Amino acid sequence: MGILEELAAKEIKRRDFVKLCTAVAAAFSLPAGFAQDIALATEKAMKKPPVVWLEGQDCAGCSESLLSTINPSIAELVLDTLSIRYHETIMAGSGSVAERALEDTIKEGGYVLVLEGSIPKADDRFCMVGGRNFKDIFMEAAGKAAAIIGAGSCATLGGGIPGATPSQGRGAIEFVSDRSKVINLPTCPVKPSRLVATIMYFLTAGKAPALDQYNRPTAFYGTLIHDNCPRRNHFEKSYFLTDWNDPKQKDYCLLLKGCKGPKTYADCPQVWWNEGANWCIGAGAPCAGCSQPEYYAGFTPLYAKQDTIDAGKIDIDTIGEVAVGVAAVGAVVHGAVRLVAGKDKK
Amino acid sequence: MAQKITIDPVTRIEGHLAVEVEIENGVVKSARSQGQMFRGFEVLLKGKDPRDASHVTDRVCGVCSGSHQWASALCLDDAFKANVPDGGRLIRNLILGAMYLHDHPLHFYHLSALDYIDVMAVAKYSGNDAGLNAVKDKIVALVKAGDTAPLTPRYKPDEFSVNDPDIVTPAVAHYLKALDIQAKAKKMAALLGGKIPHSAAIVVGGVTNLPDMQALDGFRSLLAEVKAFVEDVYVKDVVTFGTGPLLPLAKLGIGAGPGGYLAYGAFQNSSDKKDMLFPAGVITGGDITSVKEVDTEKIREYVGHSWYKDNEGLHPTEGKTEVDRDKAEGYSFIKAPRYDSNAMEVGPLSRMLVAKPAVLMDLITKYGIKPGAVARHAARAVETILVANAVEKWLNELTEMVAKGEIKVHDTNAWKVPDSAKGMGLTEAPRGALGHWINIQGTKIENYQLVVPSTWNLSPRDNKGNPGPVEKALEGVPVPDVNNPINVVRVIRSFDPCISCAVHIIEPDSNRILEFQIG
């Protein structure tokens, strides 16, 4: 490749990279100039920031979700942007080759630790890797991590679905002593845009973004799904979907089908899944509330209308500063929902 | 003297799996597949609203996402006596069909190929192709920067590892391209399912999504790109490898299973439940000329070597999940399902040996390929084409319905939970035969049992001590160097396991774990 071509290629690369940084800045509502800072900071760190990705009681869905990234391409992410030292699902090595990669990285320290899946609380032996209790492996890696990201519902808060099983799966935050190191990114699976943006933010700012009381970045979890739902106007008019076949009802409110949107904080209505393809409510399915600590045990039955739609277990007083205003608005909305729900019973 | 190797974790599979193999005179004498994770979905579902099952069980696996939702919905359809309208059936087929198009190329390029190619051979590429030189530059740059994770560390390439730069370089280029393709296939499924992994749209009675033309157009344009990749790149690569450098492995039938093949069948082509893209069938004793009908009454799950309280072997409808982690004979959280007492291999090879499409059978005859690791990759590639063609046909049918405004997606009458009912849902996940069973009492789940593909394939010994399919497939696999059990992981991964794995080398006398040398 000649020098001119090489420069041209580099310029394209750099433009893509700056595009990614701009997206990160936008995600956190940072001022426009910040994208440049992110780019500079990341480039200045000559070495690719190391990432250790541990899978506990998981389904690999969060890994798969990261692999849904189209722009920037996952190849760029995996090979050019991050140095993924240990990841059971994608790495080349197996057995002791894999285990040594993990040991070496832990010795170095300063990596971003991503936890996928939960850690069983009932019996450490419910999840073993390399002949060791997964909990011990996690604790060792957590000790020297610069930041710990709980990716997906299982690795955060109430442990998602494993949290409701006899294994009593729980998220990272239940086990580490320094909770300030933990950034929780619930939803089932983790949304890749949130994950990538959070890692990039951390690498640039050297600290976690603003978090709410559940250690979730307020940028992604600051608003109720219900408040931003495109079906909200139908809710206000008490148009509730009862028949999925009826074209008239296609965009009606899913409250009667069990929607947990009025209790769930996440940016799903604004940032759709799979590169903007769709989201649960967009496909006519009620929100299951997978970004909340109540998920799953506190939200079953998923497809039945909630008896009471109120603030429930969301603690308005202790929620993070930024979220207070939002929660207050939410509380007013909940009152309205109660009214409508009552109306529906007639 | 026999040496034991434990590969723990077996990586590039879903979940936590350890495999212990005993090696004598350079070949595997016996193997034990050890599922290292207990999650207890079946226990969790007890007492819940049955409609939750399709949402909850999808979380069993995030790789073949949608498969459990589908099986569970079929199981609930049976219990609720639902008549899923054609629109609902087609949308389910399209979501799951897209997931097959995602899964199979991902398995070949990202989970398996690194076992067969020496990635670093790319550095020796001397051709003129600009795209391939870009790949070379990329890999060389990574090596120069001293940071090739996650492509390294790895097992040392052996005599079956392809190191011809003119084969390896395009393969690595396709590895990168396939990353993009698998994401696009997931996007197809998300257009109809809401999101992927863990689609939201499949429920008892049909689907929740009444699609519009815009979604179908988006699906169609992505399908064109993905289908072209499957036909022009993926299948060609599998054939190039399988009939070229890997032909010796293919002819030896390295990694052949127990000779029992089971397919439940899947993808209804019409409202007739027997009209399937993948027909159901059973093959026993390795006699592929005789395909028998599936009789699910012949299924029993044994726990003699599993960490559960002992029983004599129960049908899934009577299945119990009572953990006993201290059981002395136990070595796995996986149960041992058997069909008429036979260990059964499930997955693409089973489906294709039951269906026998000419394109695969011709390859097998022409090159003298025996069932085994390479044949599994070939079967997987061939069925990907079958699925791609069928998806196009189903999409056309659905488009016509939407255009006419004559589309029904859900059986509204089947939304109310029955007071008491039983149901069975059988289908094919990309990894193989998948069955869900439910018993509803007092409108709640009384019992829910799943028998998943990897339970069949990775099962431990049964009560009679007979090994499971992967355990059997590993017997006789050459391991000339105990420090480099690359053939062992090749065989394990050819089954596309869906639980995380582990491998260490243990000397039986001292129990000392030998360390692998990084090549």
Structural domain range at position B478: 3-143+159-514
d(CA B77, CA B382): 31
Q: A58: domain range?
A: 47-209
Query: In a 3-state reduction of DSSP, which class is residue A84?
Result: strand
Q: How is residue B125 written in tokens?
A: 């590429």
The reply to whether residue A245 touches residue B153, judged by beta carbons under 8 angstroms, is no
Q: Has residue A309 got a pLDDT over 60?
A: no
Token code pair at residue B329:
């004979």
H-helix or E-strand spanning residue B421: strand B420-429
Task: Report the CATH number that the domain containing residue B433 is assigned in CATH.
Answer: 1.10.645.10
ipTM: 0.88
Q: What is the dihedral of CA B142, B145, B151, B156, to 10 degrees?
A: 110
The answer to whether residue B47 sits within a structural domain is yes
CB A59 to CB B184 under 8 A? no
Q: How confident is the model at residue A346 (pLDDT cuts 50, 70, 90)?
A: very low
Specify whether the CB–CB gap between A219 and A49 falls below 8 A. no
**For residue B152, is it within any domain?**
no
CA distance B437 to B71: 9
Residues pairing with B117 in the sheet = B162
Q: Which two tokens stand for residue A53?
A: 């990705």
Q: A313 or A26, which is more confident?
A: A26
Bridge partner residues of B301 (DSSP): B314, B337
Tell me, yes or no, if A259 is annotated catalytic.
yes
Return d(Cα A33, Cα A36) in angstroms, integer.
6
The whole-angstrom separation of Cα A65 and Cα A192 is: 6
Query: Is A32 part of a structural domain of the chain?
Result: no
Compute the nearest-CA separation of B206 from chain A (Å). Answer: 9
Residue of chain A whose alpha carbon sits nearest to that of B216: A277
How far apart CA B438 and CA B421 sit, in angstroms, is: 8
The residues, any chain, with a CB within 8 Å of residue A105's CB and separated by 6 or more, are A50, A52, A85, A86, A111
Q: Are B333 and B35 in contact (CB under 8 A)?
A: yes
Indicate whether A103 and A202 sit together in one domain.
yes
In the stretch 11-30 of chain B, residues with CB closer than 8 A to chain A read: 11-16, 18
What residue type is assigned to position B168 of the chain? V
- Give yes or no: residues A199 and A237 share one domain: no
B225 occurs within a structural domain: yes
Q: How many angstroms separate the CA of residue A143 from the nearest CA in chain B?
A: 22
pLDDT digits (tens, 9 = 90+) for B76-128: 999 999 999 999 999 999 999 999 999 999 889 877 887 888 878 888 899 99
Select, from the ranges A303-307, B161-165, B222-226, B493-497, the one with the highest average predicted confidence (pLDDT). Answer: B222-226
Instruction: Determine, for residues B52 and A63 on separate chains, whether the beta-carbon distance falls below 8 Å.
Output: no
CA dist list (Å): B281 to A271, B265, B278, B293, B294: 44, 7, 9, 5, 5
One domain for residues A201 and A78: yes
B333: which 2 tokens? 């959280």
CATH number of the domain that residue A326 is part of: 4.10.480.10
Q: What is the pLDDT of residue A6?
A: 41
Residue B306 has pLDDT above 80, yes or no: yes
Task: Indicate which residue of A87, A226, A234, A334 is catalytic.
Answer: A226
Contact call for B155 and A93, based on CB within 8 A: yes
The Cα of B262 is separated from the nearest Cα of chain A by a number of Å equal to 24
Q: Evaluate whether residue A29 is within a structural domain.
A: no
Please name every residue paired with A273 in a beta bridge, in sequence order, or none if there are none.
A278
Average pLDDT, chain B: 88
Residue B356's φ and ψ, nearest 5 degrees, are 50, 60
Does residue B254 have a pLDDT over 70?
Answer: yes
Residue A74 pLDDT class (50, 70, 90 cuts):
low
Residues with Cβ < 8 Å from B9, sequence gap 6 or more? Answer: A88, A94, A95, A98, A99, A129, A130, B16, B17, B18, B500, B501, B502, B503
Q: Count of domains in chain B? A: 1
- A131 chain-B contacts, CB cut-off 8 A: 6, 8, 18, 502, 504, 513
Residues A166 and A305 in one domain: no
Q: Would residue A18 count as lying in a domain?
A: no
Cβ pair B440, B477 in contact under 8 A: no
Q: Where are the beta strands (DSSP E) in A97-155?
A: 111-116, 119-120, 128-129, 132-133, 145-151
Residues B421 and B443: their CA atoms lie apart, in Å, by: 9
Among chain B residues, the shortest Cα distance to A247 is held by: B210
How far apart are the C-alpha atoms of B439 and B423, rounded to whole Å?
7
B393 in any annotated domain: yes
Banded pLDDT at B314 (limits 50, 70, 90): very high
Section B428-457 average pLDDT: 93
Check residue A75 and give its pLDDT: 63
Share of chain B above pLDDT 70, in %: 90
Q: Are residues A146 and A54 in the same domain?
A: yes
Evaluate whether residue B18 is within a structural domain: yes
More confident residue, B489 or B337: B337
In a domain, A41, yes or no: no
Residue A10, pLDDT score: 42
HEC per residue, B178-223: HHHHHHHHHHHHHHHHCCCCCCCCEECCEECCCCCHHHHHHHHHHH
Establish if A102 belongs to a structural domain: yes
Residue B316 lies in a domain: yes
Beta pairing partners, B505: B5, B514
- Catalytic residue list contains B198: no
pLDDT at A174: 93
Q: Is A127 a catalytic residue?
A: no
Question: By mean pLDDT, which of A11-25, A114-128, A313-327, B356-370 is the weakest?
Answer: A313-327
Nearest CA in chain A to B413: A243
pLDDT at B172: 84
Q: Answer yes or no: do A198 and A232 share one domain.
A: no
Highest mean pLDDT among A111-125, A287-301, B317-331: A287-301
pLDDT-wise least confident of A270-274, A287-291, A337-341, B41-45? A337-341
Nearest chain A CA: its distance from B514 CA (Å): 9
pLDDT tens digit string along B350-405? Answer: 999 999 999 999 999 999 999 999 999 999 999 999 999 999 999 999 999 999 99
* Residue A26 is assigned to a structural domain of this protein: no
Identify which of B49, B179, B183 has the shortest CB distance to residue A300: B49
A186 and A56 part of one domain: yes
What SS3 state is found at B419?
coil
Residue with token string 């698998």: B182
Are A51 and A152 found together in one domain? yes
Q: What residues in A contact B114, CB-CB < 8 Å?
A: 92
The pLDDT assigned to B137 comes to 85
A188 included as an active-site residue: yes
Residue B292 has pLDDT above 60, yes or no: yes
How far apart CA B55 and CA B42 sit, in angstroms, is 13
pLDDT for A312 equals 38
Specify whether B446 is catalytic: no
On whether residue A7 sits in a domain, the answer given is: no
The verdict on A79 and A147 lying in the same domain is yes
Task: Look at residue A238 and tell me if it is in a domain.
Answer: yes
Listing DSSP states for B6-48 in one string gives EE-S--SSSS-EEEEEEEETTEEEEEEEEE-B---HHHHHTTS
Which of A120, A156, A173, A158 has the alpha carbon at shortest distance from A297?
Answer: A158
Q: What is the pTM of this model?
A: 0.87
pLDDT of residue A41: 54
Angle at alpha carbon of residue A209, lines to A205 and A211, rounded to 5°: 160
Count Cβ atoms below 10 Å from residue B328 Cβ, excluding itself: 6
Burial of residue A100 (CB within 10 Å: 0-12, 13-18, 19+) is middle
Share of chain A above pLDDT 90, in %: 43
Mean pLDDT score of chain A: 77
Number of structural domains in chain A: 2
Residues 6+ apart with CB under 8 A from A9: A1, B134
What average pLDDT does range A188-214 have in this prediction? 89
Q: Give the H/E segment covering residue A338.
A: helix A321-345
pLDDT at A252: 97
Would you state the pLDDT for residue A189? Answer: 96
- What is the reported pLDDT for B517? 21
Q: Which stretch of A81-90, B9-18, B344-353, B389-398 has the lowest confidence by average pLDDT?
A: B9-18
Is A21 among the residues known to form the active site?
Answer: no
Residue B359 pLDDT: 93
| Inside any domain, residue B151 | no
Q: Are residues A155 and A233 in the same domain?
A: no
Q: What local confidence, expressed as pLDDT, does residue B110 receive? A: 79
**Residue B62: closest CA among B429, B432, B382:** B429
Structure tokens at A46: 């000559």
Q: Minimum mean pLDDT among A259-273, B99-113, B260-274: which range?
A: B99-113
A251 shares a domain with A227: yes
Residues A125 and A159 in one domain: yes
Name the most confidently modeled range: A107-116, A128-137, A247-256, B317-326. A247-256
Active site residue B14: yes
From CA A182, how far away is CA B120, in angstroms rounded? 37
SS3 per-residue string spanning B301-361: EECCCECECCCCCECHHHCCCCECCCCCCCCECCCEEEECCECCECCHHHHHHHHCCHHHH
Residue B356 in contact with partner chain A when CB distance is under 8 A: no
pLDDT above 50 for A250: yes
- How does pLDDT run across A267-296, given as a tens digit for each residue? 999 999 999 999 999 999 999 999 999 999
